[in-house]
Structure 1
Amino acid sequence: MQTSNITVIVLLGFPGVQQHFKNVFFFLIFIIYCLTILGNILIITLVFSSKNLQSPMYIFITQVSITDIFLSTDIIPNTFPVVLNEGGTISLQGCIAQFLFFANAEATECLLLAVMSYDRYLAICNPFHYSTIMTPLLCLKSIVFTWLLSFVMTLADAIAMCYLTFCRTNVIDHFFCDLTPLLGLACSDTSLVRILSGFFCFIVLICPFISIVVSYFYIVFTILRIPSITGRQKAFSTCSSHLTVVGLFYGALISVYVVPSQGHPFVINKIMSLSYTVMTPLLNPLVYSLRNKDFKDAFRKYWQHSKSM
């Protein structure tokens, strides 16, 4: 690791906001964080306690819930002092570690959403061979592969970042350690990190998105060929929750990292960053639970069982 003049990073957060608004904002994100953890833990508990939720699709949903818990816990608790005070501080190593866990959670969710789209493709386009293809062993291998691939690639990115020299200002105008603001502090060549990050984004962001689009092209084509309206509605309902989560997740990422931000106040980027670091992990369990009959039935049985104890 290169020697850096910077050892502590200052996160500005949301400067200029009046104190009473900061207090309200702190209370809001605290409530959101608690609901996010409780909601995702409930999803995991229901899947592993209900026999009706033991299919691969629901097992994949538990993995998405785990990534949402990791993402929220990596970002939100560190944001509390940043919101309440005029910014906050974090060590350089802690800043890189926060980026590592943040990127790992986002990458894993991208890959999981692609795997889930393939699962829905098999269920709708090839239903007679679904159980023989999507076996418990393949389900387990897919989960291990997504976690391992995302961790290896984000770790390589973080290690390359550790070899940079940071000697410019130690102030980041953000509420967490994202890649671009962090690289802006480096006074050594960042080309290797940027190349690794670009390759990493192609593998875990672009490729999964293409896979999802292709899968849903065949899914929609197959659904439209179903003669009855009831059959089409039933087939679409099996993937509507997943499609909603894909839209929320990729919509937020595209708004931050793809849409040009020149000429827009940086506070807009911060607000959009809040959408996928704070709001999306909260909305995911709501989408899966409110739009899914199996989850509703499992929750009803779980609640009745808890009351009878």
Structure 2
Amino acid sequence: MAFSVFAGGTAREHAPRRRSRIALLLLLPGILYLVLFFLVPLVALVFTSLQAPSGFDIGEYQTAFKWDNYVTAIGEYGSQIIRSFVYAILATVFALLFSYPLGYFIGVKARRWPLLQNLMLVLVIAPFFISFLLRTLAWKSLLSDESAIVTGLKALSLLAPDAHVTGTPFAVVFGLTYNFIPFMTLPLYAALERLDTRYLEAGGDLYAHPFTVFRTITIPLSMPGIVSGVLLTFIPAAGDYVNASREFLGGTGTSMIGNVIESNFLITLNYPAAASLSIVLMVVILVIVGLYVRRSGTEDLL
């Protein structure tokens, strides 16, 4: 009897160990993936940002610990860094203002019409079936000086006769907003679709103003979707280099930090400057995201 109790206790002690080993084996592919495709490139990027010129041909560098690369990069490209985050913040705000009513209608109002709800979801997702570059290039044609949109605005005296839309900050922010609207709409829809409308009805039964119901019930309950949509929009928008390039919607005074990184890496072959700017971009984004999530009260999303 004592032996059976002892054996049963030993079996129960070994069971959690076996489960932990199985869980570790299941996590191993994901851990290896993160190490190979995130940690190793990140370490290589940090070492590249500290390299010094070898003194021979252009594009040849040697291993060093030249911390001045960061000071030089920030001092030389400070305006592009600030411009990138200003454009990203504006695009995120405009995308939120446009996407929230859309996500609310799809997730709450269109529940009684499943066919309409599914159709609108397909329309939101439809841009993903077209290349990001093609969509941006299409807007370059639509906003060109010869397009029907621009000529119509000039005919209505809403634009000056010699005004241009492409190559301006407006065009870049517009392109960023348009391209990242689906990333904002889908998390908002996912949060609002789970919203219990009985809370809204209870607020109306208590004679609360519709705006008060929206401010005190709808927004707090949809905050996880707002936070997720803002992060999915702001982070890629800050590092975008397509919309602000001269080949698409940008001009001479609209370059962002992504354009500078691309130029240093592919044209001037200044790899330490490109790597240091990438590290600076990543650190600033992490700081802004951390502060935003902490202020929004959704630290559990990190």
When the two structures are superposed, what TM-score results if normalisation uses the length of structure 1?
Answer: 0.29
Query: TM-score, normalised on structure 2?
Result: 0.30
